[in-house]
Amino acid sequence: MKKIPNSQFPIPNSRGFTIVELLVAMGLFVILIGIATGGFVRALRTQRAVVALMAANDNASLTLEQMAREMRTGYNFSVVGDELQFVNAYSKKTGYRLNSGAIERASIDGETSALIDSDYKKITADNVKIAHFKIILFGNELGDGYPPRITISLSVSSTSKYLENILTNIQTTVSSRCGPGGCPSDT
């Protein structure tokens, strides 16, 4: 009987890999893939956190800008605790306050009307939590020669459960142009 060759190119007699070598190689591969996947997942979580913080800070900045714009043309400022009340350019009694982690605004007709709880509406977004809100009023005394200046300080965080303890402090000072009859300090 004649031997038939397996192919034109005979395979040299060599050893293959042992099971132990294959298990070690596969184990190292799985470990490296696990590390790479963990790093990728962590990067995605970090990116989500950064986006949430940016959204909260943007909303707080817009809220602060809205408040400042209205205060710039207001007069008859008064601060009671963490609540600011004044008369805006449209002769409406206006108030800003912190309530349950959100800034609220109220505006009603009439300079002498009293603001009540049902007048206040939330102006910050649901993804924003205001931790601290402080208002300091300067130059509102009669005869001091200065227009009223209002300093607003607030600490902002996101409502995300991963970012509750990360606070961003924002502060601005607004100088009022005063309303009818000039500034109270001019008389």
What's the pLDDT at 156? Answer: 92
Domain boundaries, the chain: 20-186
Give the residue-averaged pLDDT of 79-95.
88
Band of the pLDDT at 185, cuts 50, 70, 90? Answer: very low
Q: State the Cα–Cα distance between residues 151 and 133, nearest whole angstrom.
A: 11
Quick one: pLDDT band at residue 99, thresholds 50, 70, 90? very high
User: Where is pLDDT greater, at 7 or 66?
Assistant: 66
Q: Which of 163, 102, 153 is nearest to 128 (CA)?
A: 102
pLDDT recorded at residue 179: 55
Q: What percent of the chain has pLDDT over 70?
A: 84
Short-list 115, 155, 165, 117, CA closest to 133? 155
Q: Which long-range contacts (CB under 8 A, 24 or more apart) does 112-118 make?
A: 115/85
Average pLDDT, the chain: 85
Q: How far is CA 51 from the centre of its chain?
A: 9
What mean pLDDT is predicted for residues 38-53? 91
Instruction: Assign 142 to helix, strand or coil.
Output: coil
Extended strands (E) in 13-82: 75-80
Provide long-range contacts, Cβ within 8 A and 24+ apart, for 169-173.
Answer: 170/57, 170/60, 170/61, 170/64, 172/64, 172/68, 173/149
The C-alpha atoms of residue 122 and residue 117 are separated, in whole angstroms, by 11
